Structure 1
Amino acid sequence: MHRFVVLVAFGVASVLTIKEECFKLANPVTMSCCKAPPPRPSKDESIKECFEKFGKTRKPTAETACELELCIGKKQGYIADDGTINKKALEADVAEKFKQSPDLVENITKHCINADVDEYGSEDFCELMKTSHCIHVQIAMACPEYDDRGHCSEIKSLAEKCSAE
């Protein structure tokens, strides 16, 4: 799950689409408002080295975030040595990690893996970061029930709106 969370710290700037508001769903706080979040993938110790190398930057940039995402992707087998995404391998990784949520796997595959993800980040974001952001938004939109108290009421309304689009 780490690779989906890291992306959030950098935000999405200069994206002019109708879904821009939905990007707020990629914030890790969002899932704390979900009463029944999808099962979380187990922690993968193989990516620890990536976080030690790239995840300790005080002022992260899109470039350092991309380096972290690429490191994780290489360790998990869906990034080629040239930095391109092996979409079949990523699809298999997502299917395994979220096998208990087939609808979520289908949405991630349709909207993030086999689709143009340019709208999920600015030009300085690498394709993997945009894909990762898309995946996190899909996870948030898959929440069946949000808490409607405090800051969670805004998130619940936004998730309902984004799911309807």
Structure 2
Amino acid sequence: MYRFVILSVVVVSALADDMDIRECGRIFHPPPPGCCKENNVVKNKEMLADELKECFDAPGPKDPVKCELDLCIAKKRGFATDDGKLDLKKFEEVISKDVTDKDVLDEIKTNCINGDLNNYGPPDFCDFIKIKHCVTLHLMNQCSEWSDDDKCQKVKELVGKCAKVI
């Protein structure tokens, strides 16, 4: 009898964690534009937009599972290997230059660089998308001013919850 109770608790806990992680995917699909009104932890945003314009302007549809856009960005920023894999050491160098807030940078290093990227996307997503989701979540978690509309307030609540769960 005790074994059944313990097994039930373990199964329910595991399912709850999985449900929480799946719910967190709503943050990225589609990403909430304009919800974070003020977030000053990333420097040179305008320069980054110019540097990556070629990736965003590339013709054809962008299939998120195929990862073309994120691979293009990684190559431009210098954290993709020659064979198209994520180079975490190079990524750490790049993100350390971009993120000005030490606490946010430490959070990104702990969760995204040294953490389990599999929590940030399904198995068929490439590591570039997963690390983008991880960094986005932790940057959004540090947003200092959110839009007041209902959708953005729900996103804010979900971001806070997901940053703790994942």
**Count of matched residue pairs:** 144
**CA RMSD across the alignment:** 2.3
The aligned runs of 1:51-70 (5 Å cut-off) are: 51-53=56-58, 56-58=59-61, 60-63=63-66, 66-70=67-71
- Residue of structure 2 equivalent to 1:50: 55
Name whichever of 43-52 and 107-116 sits farther off: 43-52
Aligned residues of 1:148 and 1:156 also touching (Cα < 8 A): no
Q: State the one-letter code of the partner of 2:81.
A: A
Q: Which stretch of the first structure deviates more once superposed, 126-135 or 151-160?
A: 151-160
Which amino acid in 2 is paired with 1:43? M
Query: What's the % identity of the aligned pairs?
Result: 33
Separation in structure 2 between the aligned mates of residue 57 and residue 112 of structure 1, nearest angstrom: 30
Provide the C-alpha distance between the structure 2 equivalents of 1:125 and 1:46, rounded to a whole number of angstroms: 24
Which has more radius of gyration?
Answer: 2
Distance 2:64 2:159 in 1: 27
Q: Distance in 2 between matches of 1:157 and 1:52?
A: 33
- Aligned partner of 2:133 in structure 1 is 133
Amino acid at match of 1:155: V
Aligned equivalent of 1:5: none
For the 8 Å contact 1:34–1:146, the answer to whether it is kept is: yes
Q: Is the 8 A contact 1:38 1:142 kept in 2?
A: no
Q: CA deviation at 1:17?
A: 5.2
Shift of 1:77: 0.9
What's the counterpart of residue 72 of structure 1? 73
**Matches for 1:70-109 after TM superposition, within 5 Å:** 70-99=71-100, 101-109=101-109
Distance in 2 (alpha carbons) for counterparts of 1:145 and 1:49: 30
Give 2:21's match in structure 1, choosing from 14, 19, 22: 19
**Structure-1 separation of matches of 2:62 and 2:51:** 24
Q: In 1, distance between residues paired with 2:124 and 2:105?
A: 27
Which consecutive unaligned segments of at least 5 residues does structure 2 have? 1-17
Question: Displacement of 1:164 after TM fit?
Answer: 4.2
Task: Find the residue that maps to 2:32 and give its secondary structure.
Answer: helix
**Unmatched 5+ stretches in structure 1:** 1-15
Letter in 1 for 2:22: E
Give, in whole Å, the separation in 1 of the partners of 2:127 and 2:160: 27
Task: Give the Cα separation in 1 of the matches to 2:62 and 2:127.
Answer: 21
In the alignment, which residue of structure 2 is the partner of 1:161?
161
Amino acid at match of 1:137: L
Q: Pick closer, same or farther for the CA change 1:104–1:23 going to 2, 3 Å.
A: farther
Deviates more, 1:18-27 or 1:80-89: 18-27
